[in-house]
Amino acid sequence: MEILAFGVQADERPLIEKAFAPHHDIRCLDVFLSEDTAPIAAGYEIISTSVNASLDNRVLQTLAAGGTQMIAQRSTGFNNIDLQVAERLGLTVARVSYYSPYSVAEFAWTLATAVNRRIVRASNRTRDFDFRLDGLMGRDLRGRTAGVLGTGKIGEAFTRIAHGFGMKLLGWDVTQNPACVELGMTYVDVDDKERLFAESDLISLHVPLLPATRHLIDANALRAMKDDAILVNSSRGGLIDTDALVRELRAGRFTGVGLDVYEAEAGLFFLDKSLEAVEDDTLARLVTFPNVVVTSHQAYYTVDAVSQIIETTVQNVLDYQAGRRSENVLVPAAPAN
Q: Which residues are catalytic?
A: 236, 265, 297
Question: Quick one: which of 151, 159, 255, 312 contacts ligand NAD (CB under 6 A)?
Answer: 151
Chain residue at closest Cβ approach to ligand NAD = 152
Q: CB count, 10 Å around CB of 13?
A: 14
Residue 262 contacts residue 288 (beta carbons within 8 Å): no
143: left (phi over 0), alpha (psi -120 to 50) or beta: left
Between 46 and 96, name the residue whose CB sits nearer to ligand NAD: 96
CB 127 to ligand NAD: min, Å: 28
| Binding window for ligand NAD (CB under 6 A); candidates: 36-44, 64-72, 229-237, 243-251 | 229-237
Peptide bond into 14 cis (omega under 30): no
Answer yes or no whether residue 197 interacts with ligand NAD by CB under 6 A: no
Question: Quick one: which of 59, 81, 118, 155 contacts ligand NAD (CB under 6 A)?
Answer: 155
Answer yes or no whether residue 153 interacts with ligand NAD by CB under 6 A: yes
Annotate 216-234 with DSSP letters as a single string.
Answer: SB-HHHHHHS-TT-EEEE-
Answer yes or no whether residue 233 interacts with ligand NAD by CB under 6 A: no
Three-state SS at 167: coil
Answer yes or no whether residue 235 interacts with ligand NAD by CB under 6 A: yes
Rounded-to-integer distance, Cα 158 and Cα 160, Å: 6
Question: Quick one: which of 12, 82, 173, 201 contacts ligand NAD (CB under 6 A)?
Answer: 173
Phi/psi of residue 4, each to 5°? -110, 125
- Residues 61-90 vs ligand NAD: string with x where CB under 6 A? ---------------xx-------------
Q: Among 151, 155, 154, 195, which residue's Cα sits nearest to residue 175?
A: 151
| Binding window for ligand NAD (CB under 6 A); candidates: 138-146, 208-216, 244-252, 328-336 | 208-216
| Binding window for ligand NAD (CB under 6 A); candidates: 85-93, 248-256, 263-271, 297-305 | 297-305
Do the bridges between strand 25-28 and strand 46-49 make them parallel or antiparallel, or are there none, so unpaired?
unpaired
| Binding window for ligand NAD (CB under 6 A); candidates: 12-20, 138-146, 219-227, 295-303 | 295-303
Between 173 and 241, name the residue whose CB sits nearer to ligand NAD: 173
Question: Quick one: which of 297, 309, 310, 313 contacts ligand NAD (CB under 6 A)?
Answer: 297
Rounded-to-integer distance, Cα 241 and Cα 286, Å: 12
Residue 172 contacts residue 198 (beta carbons within 8 Å): no
Which residues are CB-neighbours of 238 under 8 A, at least 6 positions away? 79, 209, 214, 215, 263
Between 99 and 254, name the residue whose CB sits nearer to ligand NAD: 99
Rounded-to-integer distance, Cα 42 and Cα 129, Å: 55
Question: Quick one: which of 10, 133, 174, 336 contacts ligand NAD (CB under 6 A)?
Answer: 174
| Binding window for ligand NAD (CB under 6 A); candidates: 24-32, 140-148, 201-209, 221-229 | 201-209
CB 104 to ligand NAD: min, Å: 5
Three-state SS at 126: helix
Residue 236 contacts residue 207 (beta carbons within 8 Å): no
Phi/psi of residue 163, each to 5°? -60, -40
Question: Quick one: which of 72, 221, 261, 283 contacts ligand NAD (CB under 6 A)?
Answer: 261
Between 63 and 104, name the residue whose CB sits nearer to ligand NAD: 104
Contact set for ligand NAD, span 86-125 (CB under 6 A): 101, 104
Q: CB count, 10 Å around CB of 77?
A: 16
H or E, element range at 259: strand 256-259
Q: Which residues bind ligand NAD (CB under 6 A)?
A: 76-77, 101, 104, 150-155, 173-175, 206-210, 212-213, 234-236, 260-261, 297, 299-300
